[in-house]
């Protein structure tokens, strides 16, 4: 029994919606704060990174568009929750369109710099879409822990 592209996209959208709910519950200031742990990211940056993952893997690797991405800047991102919510909806819409138009068994269309063609994520468009699911779900868990540590206050960075 296989999973449909629609089901996969629905799981990605659900994870993004849960991240949007988390940052909404934190408010602008706390959503952009990093917990006081080495290498930790703010909830805002985590979601911005996930949107970058969706844009790059769905847009370039699956759909074949050239995507200009500054991955490092995603982890430094701050701003208003309202603008990130709009970006999340737009990214979900584009990702759904890219995934729906894709033949999951076909080879990926766009290259990924620094990866060899035999990497699991590059075996097919379907494997690239699964990589997006992997990324957003693991980062949802990271965001949940980050939220909890920020709300607790003992690990909040100053």
Q: Which domain holds residue 69?
A: 5-33+40-151
Given a cut of 50, the residues of the chain with pLDDT beneath it are 1, 158
Helix (H, G, I), strand (E, B) or coil at 127: helix
Helix (H, G, I), strand (E, B) or coil at 156: strand
| CATH number of the domain residue 70 falls in | 1.20.120.450
In a domain, 158, yes or no: no
pLDDT digits (tens, 9 = 90+) for 74-100: 999 999 999 999 999 999 999 999 999
pLDDT for residue 1: 45
pLDDT for residue 11: 98
pLDDT digits (tens, 9 = 90+) for 107-118: 998 766 677 766
Helices (H), 32-124: 43-54, 71-74, 81-101
pLDDT for residue 158: 45
For the whole model, what pTM was predicted? 0.92
- Number of folded domains that form the chain: 1
Dihedral-angle region of residue 2 (phi above 0 means left; psi in -120 to 50 means alpha; beta otherwise): beta
């Amino acid at each position: 029994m296989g999973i449909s592209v629609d089901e996969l996209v629905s799981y990605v959208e659900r994870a993004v919606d849960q991240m949007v709910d988390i940052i909404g519950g934190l408010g602008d200031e706390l959503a952009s704060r990093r917990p006081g742990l080495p290498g930790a990211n703010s909830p805002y940056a985590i979601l911005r990174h996930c949107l970058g993952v969706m844009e790059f893997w769905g847009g370039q690797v699956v759909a074949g568009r050239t995507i200009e991405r500054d991955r490092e800047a995603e982890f430094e991102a701050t701003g208003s929750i309202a603008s990130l919510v709009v970006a999340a909806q737009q990214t979900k819409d584009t990702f759904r369109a890219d995934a729906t138009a894709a033949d999951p068994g076909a080879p990926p269309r766009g290259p990924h710099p620094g990866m060899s063609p035999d990497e699991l994520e590059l075996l097919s468009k379907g494997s690239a879409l699964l990589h997006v699911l992997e990324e957003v779900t693991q980062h949802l868990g990271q965001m949940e822990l980050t939220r909890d540590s920020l709300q607790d206050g003992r690990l909040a960075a100053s």
